[in-house]
Chains A and B, each alone.
Chain A
Amino acid sequence: MGNLIVRRVTQMLLIMLTVSLLLFAIFDSDQFREKAAVAELGGFGVATLSADDYHEWLEKKGLNEPFLARYGRWLESVLHGDMGQSIEKDIAVSVLLKESLTNTGILAFFVFLIMIPVSLTLGVLAGMNTGSPLDRVISIVAVLTTSIPQIATAVLLTVILALGLGWVPTKSAMADGWSFRGLPLLTLLLYDIGYLVRMTRAAMTEVMASQYIRTAVLKGLPYRRVILRHALRNALIVPVTLIFLELNGLLSQVVVVEVFFQYAGFGRMLFDAANFGDLQVLQAATLVAVCVAVGSQLLSDAAYVFLNPRVRFT
């Protein structure tokens, strides 16, 4: 078991190194460098940026050094927590990152807090009795909520809850207090709960059809005990690993939701930075996103190893 984890960690470090090299190479391409030069030398520089000016700028920034030397220096400063300066907002990237990550973190915390108990319970209830009326209802609702893309969920919720009933403000930027988190949170929840319910139901159905459950029922164990002691332990392995992977999915989902509701979080910061050409911010945000994604994959693998005795003892 320890061996497997060690192997995964090395693999993860290798991937992170490749990704950082890749990212550096992308942002080092002429296209992006020119964008950065234009952004830094001011809006009017767009038309007048001559080749000489550009080379002078490169020289000044120390961008004419060999690729690997610059990569090494960049990596070193990133590891020291220095991610550069935002051109658009003129503050350190790390400050900007901290602020937006906190906002998104609050959102993510409540998503997980509500999603995990609700969807595991519903999924198990549906999978316990495949084909029962309860299963039908849960399955249909789950298919509907996962089929509606978040952009459409956001629209429908805005129209019903904000425009129609007037319970919450339409845009998060327009209000303070707690009501402004309502719509983004609900949008994220509807999709994620549906997805996790479907996965839990599938896992539970598979377990309920297996031989050992039939044996347990036939030898006269109380039904409660069969479910709680025998079925759940195996059925929840996959959903629990998926919960960790949801962290990865959430990073994509927040971009759409935060842009739609103008919520000042990580996704919106990343999107704005990409649109504005604020490269330092974009680079740092991408790096953080990849770190979280890879970390969540690692956690998910670790959970799988830990929960599944068939893997643990081999």
Chain B
Amino acid sequence: MNSRVVILLALIWFPLTAYVMFRSALGALANYLLLPAIPSVIVLYVLALRSWRESWVAIVGVSLVSFWLLMAVAAPYLPLVDPNKPLVPFLAPGGVRHGILFLLGSDMRGRDVLSRTVWGCQRVLVWGITATSVAYAVGAGCGLIAGYLGGWWDEFVSFASNVLLSFPVMVLFILVLNLLGQSGFNIIIAVTCSSAPVIMRIVRGLALDAKSRDYIQAAQTRGEHPLWIMLVELLPNVRGPIIVDASLRLGYTTVAITTLTFLGLGLQPPDPDWGLMIKEAATAALLWKYSYMMIVPALSVSSLILGFNLIADGLREMSLRD
């Protein structure tokens, strides 16, 4: 991953996060915040197409993810009606009322399903990516400490992660979110509790393996600080498996966030979210005629996760080839 990609990712992620989490504090600036992110997504997509052209699996995956990413950053500028505004209830897909075309129909409270899907994508992606990043920061940090420093550090970190791993994931989520309360930030904590131990194990294994390599020994002989060695010498050199796992984990986190909202434990209504859309439709409109209300968010979340999984598969395939 070169610096160009990192800059592009930052250009997308920071405005998007600021827009979703702190929109009220931004005022008028919010209207223009996401504009630079739109070309960034397109450039990133083209870069990915060029460097991954040997694997069609990765191409399909990155196309799916880029599509949803584009939807997320472009949501404020698309000609969509307000996702929370009740207009016409139970309108079948393709219907026109009040001069507005409801391409995917409207839900039981008369809100546009298309608009809710696109805005829901923004929430799912922002919280998903943020939660995964935090889990990675914690997990990779612990893994480096356990693997590189070893000794008591290793014993302690490994035991703590074993304790966390002995909870089934959903049980851990329910416990954490009931203890701390239900909000997006607590989802980050819950996801970190469940993912960080697994990430820690992976990074620990990689660090153990790299520790005995020449370049680390050389750095130690030069008298470099352990922190510098861990973050600058070791981590960038073991990034291959980490990137593959991160892509998979983004998928898991997306599943977790959608599922938690479905269970009523995660992000709070009324703002749209795919899990919430499924939940509302499953309780209020469980009929063949209205099944589009559930199918649209279900297919959306599936395609996004399929994208993440295919990227991971493609990357793994390419790394095995060389």
By a beta-carbon cutoff of 8 Å, the part of chain A in contact with chain B is 11, 14-16, 18-19, 22, 26, 29, 31-32, 143-144, 146-152, 155-156, 158-159, 163-164, 170, 248-249, 251-253, 255-256, 259-260, 267, 270-271, 274-275, 282, 285-286, 289-290, 292-294, 297
User: Which residues of B sit under 8 angstroms from A155, Cβ to Cβ?
Assistant: 278, 282, 294-295, 298
A286 in contact with B306 (CB, 8 Å): no
A149 in contact with B166 (CB, 8 Å): no
User: Which residues of B sit under 8 angstroms from A252, Cβ to Cβ?
Assistant: 168-171
A164 to B167, CA, bound (A): 38
A157 to B163, CA, bound (A): 36
User: Which residues of B sit under 8 angstroms from A18, Cβ to Cβ?
Assistant: 159, 163
User: Which residues of A sit under 8 angstroms from B170, Cβ to Cβ?
Assistant: 251-253, 255-256, 267
Closest Cβ of chain A: how far from B104's Cβ, in Å? Answer: 15
User: Which residues of B sit under 8 angstroms from A270, Cβ to Cβ?
Assistant: 171, 174
A164 in contact with B288 (CB, 8 Å): yes
- A31, A148, A151: which contacts B278 (Cβ < 8 A)? A151
B305 in contact with A148 (CB, 8 Å): yes
A159 in contact with B295 (CB, 8 Å): yes
B288 in contact with A159 (CB, 8 Å): yes
A26 to B177, CA, bound (A): 12
Q: Which of B69-77, B202-210, B251-259 contacts A (4 or more CB under 8 A)?
A: B251-259
Which DSSP category, helix, strand, loop or mixed, fits chain B's interface? helix
A6 to B309, CA, bound (A): 38
Q: Is B68 an interface residue (CB 8 A)?
A: no
User: Which residues of B sit under 8 angstroms from A297, Cβ to Cβ?
Assistant: 165-166
Q: Is B287 an interface residue (CB 8 A)?
A: yes
A267 to B302, CA, bound (A): 23
A143 in contact with B309 (CB, 8 Å): yes
How many B residues face the partner with a CB closer than 8 A? 40
User: Which residues of A sit under 8 angstroms from B282, Cβ to Cβ?
Assistant: 155, 158, 260
A26 to B171, CA, bound (A): 14
B301 in contact with A152 (CB, 8 Å): yes
A314 to B123, CA, bound (A): 52
Chain B, residue nearest A248 (CB): B168
Which residues of B (57-88) have their CB < 8 Å from a CB of A? none
A155 to B294, CA, bound (A): 7
User: Which residues of A sit under 8 angstroms from B187, Cβ to Cβ?
Assistant: none
A256 in contact with B263 (CB, 8 Å): yes
B262 in contact with A290 (CB, 8 Å): no
- A32, A150, A260, A293: which contacts B166 (Cβ < 8 A)? A293
A132 to B73, CA, bound (A): 40
A29 to B286, CA, bound (A): 40
Which residues of B (174-220) have their CB < 8 Å from a CB of A? 174-175, 178-179
B174 in contact with A149 (CB, 8 Å): no
Say whether, besides A15-B166, A155-B282, A260-B282, A147 and B174 are in contact (CB < 8 Å): no
Q: Is B107 an interface residue (CB 8 A)?
A: no
Q: Is B125 an interface residue (CB 8 A)?
A: no
A148 to B302, CA, bound (A): 5
User: Which residues of A sit under 8 angstroms from B278, Cβ to Cβ?
Assistant: 151-152, 155
- B178, B295, B306: which contacts A156 (Cβ < 8 A)? B295
User: Which residues of A sit under 8 angstroms from B178, Cβ to Cβ?
Assistant: 274, 282
- A16, A26, A152, A251: which contacts B175 (Cβ < 8 A)? A26
Closest Cβ of chain A: how far from B107's Cβ, in Å? Answer: 14
Closest Cβ of chain B: how far from A241's Cβ, in Å? Answer: 15
Q: Is B313 an interface residue (CB 8 A)?
A: yes
Which residues of B (249-283) have their CB < 8 Å from a CB of A? 251, 254-255, 258-259, 262-264, 275, 278, 282
Chain B, residue nearest A143 (CB): B309
Q: Is B319 an interface residue (CB 8 A)?
A: no
- Pick 7 A–B contacts, CB within 8 A, sort by A: A14-B159, A151-B262, A152-B301, A163-B291, A164-B288, A286-B171, A290-B167
User: Which residues of A sit under 8 angstroms from B309, Cβ to Cβ?
Assistant: 143, 146-147
Closest Cβ of chain B: how far from A43's Cβ, in Å? Answer: 19
User: Which residues of B sit under 8 angstroms from A156, Cβ to Cβ?
Assistant: 295, 298
A22 to B167, CA, bound (A): 12
Closest Cβ of chain A: how far from B167's Cβ, in Å? Answer: 6
Extra contacts besides A15-B166, A151-B301, A286-B167 (4): CB < 8 Å: A18-B159, A151-B258, A152-B302, A159-B291
A156 to B259, CA, bound (A): 15
A293 in contact with B179 (CB, 8 Å): no
Q: Is B31 an interface residue (CB 8 A)?
A: no
Q: Is B41 an interface residue (CB 8 A)?
A: no
User: Which residues of A sit under 8 angstroms from B166, Cβ to Cβ?
Assistant: 15-16, 19, 290, 293-294, 297
